[in-house]
Amino acid sequence: MTQTGPANLHYLANPLLNKGTAFSQAERDQLGLTGLLPPHIETLDEQIIRAHAAFRSQASPIEQHIYLRNLQDDNEVLFYALLIRHLPEMMPIIYTPTVGDACKQFSEIYRHPRGLIIPYPERDQIEQILDNAINTDVQAIVVTDGERILGLGDQGAGGMGIPIGKLSLYSGAGGVDPAVTLPILLDPGTNNQERLDDPMYIGWRHERISGEEYFEFVDLFVQAVKRKWPQVLLQFEDFAQQHAAPLLEKYRDQLCTFNDDIQGTAAVTAGTLLAAANVTGVPLKDSRIAFLGAGSAGAGIAEELIRLMVKQGLSEAEARDRVYMVDRHGLLTDAMQGLLPFQQPLAHPAASVRDWAAGDISLLDVITHAKPNILVGVSGQAGLFTEEIIRTMAADSDHPIVLPLSNPTSRIEATPEQIIHWSDGKAIVATGSPFDPVSYKGDTHHIAQCNNSYIFPGMGLGVLAANATRVTETMFIAAAEALAALSPALADRRASLLPDVSDIRDVSRQIALAVGLTAQADSVAPKTSRDALEAAIAAKFWTPHYQDYATGDA
């Protein structure tokens, strides 16, 4: 029987159901779509070719981002099929660095609702808002409050671009069915005056709430999520450092949750450094590591590396002695006032470094006196890895490892080309955003993108496939070690430290297996055999394809 009226529009309006020009003639007849679509019936492959040509015709990365977002809101199968086919080309468009511009311009480029927005004035309606989610079988949520978007700071409602982009990679890179994902923005206001003064700003026009009001707002949300979806994986994303660590500590034992900025960044950095250690021949436990940036991301990386050093045989005290955290006031020491709780365990005894400088101990002072062979930048400030710093470091290390991780590229501490030239070609470099290879004196240096996208999609897949109830720190260590084991540099030290982005779906499956096995060992997932877990991952792994809606009785 032919359907007519609103039912036919349901198939065209729902991006999870829409096939566009790929609806068969039988489907068009039965669903009442005849005349609503062009007569030529395309295959998914034909649609991909046409969509890719349209993508390529866009004038700038932000225009390409807008095109892909519109495509996602129209036809998710085609969007993901296109994304997976051209992942190296399109990941920088849907994720870093272009997503930063998209967040800044979110109000201007807003076209279509996606996910849920929960403004503070509607905090008494959170349960009803969750009930309004289009996806009903929600298994994975990414939530932000928009306060610390990449290295760009407070973007208010524009921060919604991050959960949308992250979940696009859950599906595109990690094989998680988009029908079970949900991006959420908590909107507690913004302190970005440019946003508040913008007549087009679509968020709650109010300065950010703070203190107990803020934490009560987040708690209302988390408790409502626990009641509605008790088994959900909840990923916190781009929360400011004064909130990120306390929220993680409060909720990590209440539901299956993690903070990607703290734990995901730590895991991908640890995996990259484990791979680099295999290249240089200097084990992590024998390294000295300097950080520029002592916020929640930097501290999270440091703590992960300390756990790995302890696993490799050091005492915790010995491991902490090898890590140096530098922020805008210099090296963290126990004589500093106002250190945050997560910074205090990383502070060095002031007496042990009192001869390094007359006042604040700068990064250059640390490089000169501690002689680290690893330098990690998570400062969010461009140009802070100077030529003097890199040359000083290279003078004491055969192969200094330098990771300027700040995003977007406008905030990077130094470019790979600068670092390689200043180190006379000795440095091994990985960055947060993608960079082309660097040629120096006849050698080609491949630049790994040390980006969370290597970790969180596989983490999500592993958690869901294993039916894990919590996310443990050892699960992140397992993810880091699995990533390091896949390094192309193991076979060729001149190759990239991390696998090519085109291989990221296979990487995610390997990480999912390591995560799932560790979840079982940590007793936060049901015990099964390795074969059963591999089968569960394969069954969970989503590949974009069209369903057949024809019933055969037309």
Lookup result for tokens 């039965």: 30
Structure tokens at 170: 């859950």
Long-range Cβ contacts of 226-232 (<8 Å, 24+ apart): 226/254, 226/255, 227/127, 228/127, 228/130, 228/131, 228/138, 229/138, 229/139, 229/141, 230/255, 231/139, 231/256, 231/467, 231/469, 232/138, 232/139, 232/140, 232/141, 232/256
Show Cβ contacts of residue 296 under 8 Å, excluding neighbours closer than 6 positions. Answer: 241, 244, 245, 259, 261, 262, 342
Per DSSP, 527 falls in state -
Answer for the pair 419, 385: CB distance below 8 angstroms, yes or no. yes
Lookup result for tokens 């036919």: 8
Q: Is 110 a catalytic residue?
A: no
Q: Which of 468, 457, 482 has the alpha carbon at shortest distance from 516?
A: 468
Structure tokens at 470: 């919590």
- The span from the CA of 525 to the CA of 466, in Å, is 6
User: Facing residues of 292 across strands?
Assistant: 326, 377
CA of 94: how far to CAs of 46, 86, 331, in Å? 22, 12, 36
Element containing residue 306 per DSSP (H, E): helix 296-311
- The span from the CA of 346 to the CA of 339, in Å, is 10
- The span from the CA of 256 to the CA of 429, in Å, is 34
- The span from the CA of 512 to the CA of 250, in Å, is 25
SS3 category, 357: coil
- The span from the CA of 183 to the CA of 135, in Å, is 11
- The torsion angle over the Cα atoms of residues 174, 175, 178 and 183, rounded to 10 degrees, is -10
Q: Is 166 a catalytic residue?
A: yes
* Length of the chain in terms of residues written: 554
From 19, 166, 426, 540, active-site residue: 166
Lookup result for tokens 């001869």: 355
Cα-atom radius of gyration of the chain, to the nearest Å?
Answer: 24
Show Cβ contacts of residue 279 under 8 Å, excluding neighbours closer than 6 positions. Answer: 399, 428, 489, 490, 493, 497
From 11, 80, 95, 324, active-site residue: 95
Show Cβ contacts of residue 351 under 8 Å, excluding neighbours closer than 6 positions. Answer: none
Residues serving a catalytic function are 95, 166
